[in-house]
Amino acid sequence: MKRIIISETQKRVIINYINEVNNHDRLIKTVVSDLNLNYEKAVGVNELGNEFYNIPMIGKKVDNTNITPKSLLEYFKVKYSVSSDFLKQVISDWYYGSFSKDGSLSKNVSLK
């Protein structure tokens, strides 16, 4: 058995890293649970000239209306107080079903 001696500063860095990883995974599960409970994937139609395009939309289960992913992102930024990049990735992975097998994000994004 080997022993490693670390300073107090190194210990704090390690503990902060472990806490951030745990908070990251817990927050992903919380946001995804909120999405599954209150929202559903929807598609809107946008007309450009004489052509129609499908655009991603989010359906609110409570009143059966559609909102844009950007509107949901703005609401979640206030609700969860984390970076918009993190929330964009969670919403995108939820919408397209692209979480990894262990439930983590398809792209590594920081909470801050």
pLDDT in tens, 89-108: 999 999 999 887 777 888 87
Domains of the chain: which residue ranges?
Answer: 8-38+68-96
pLDDT in tens, 24-70: 788 889 999 999 999 999 887 766 677 777 888 999 999 988 898 99
C-alpha to C-alpha distance for 48 and 60, rounded to whole angstroms: 25
Give 10-33 as a DSSP string: HHHHHHHHHHHHHHHHHHHHHHHH
At 97, is the secondary structure helix, strand, or coil?
coil
